[in-house]
Amino acid sequence: MKLTNDSYVILMGTKNFTERYYRDQAGWCKVSARGRKFRTTAEQVLNHLLPALAGIKPNLVIKVEHHEPL
C-alpha cells in the first residue's frame, strides 16, 4: 500500500456542491463542482482545507479517500 500524496483524493463540500483535490505528476489539481479543472499549489489546497478543519466553516464536510496511484 502506497501512502504518498498522489494516493489520496480530498473531497470538500456541502450538501449542494463538492470540490475534489488530488495530486498528479504535475502537481495539485482542483476539480470544481461544475467539473472545471484548475492547477493549484499546496498552499492553496491548505488555504481551502484549514478553515473547514478548524471549524470556522461548520457547513463544510471533508472526506479523504485512498486510491492506488495509476
Total domains present in the chain? 1
| pLDDT on residue 58 | 81
Over the stretch 30-57, which tens digit does the pLDDT of each residue have? 999 999 999 999 999 999 999 888 988 8
Residue 70 has pLDDT above 70, yes or no: no
Backbone angles phi, psi at 62, to 5 degrees: -110, 130
Q: Structure pTM? A: 0.85
| pLDDT on residue 62 | 92
Selection from 6, 2, 18 nearest residue 59 by Cα: 18
Strands 61-66, 27-31: pairing is unpaired
Which residue segment(s) compose the domain that 23 sits in?
A: 5-66
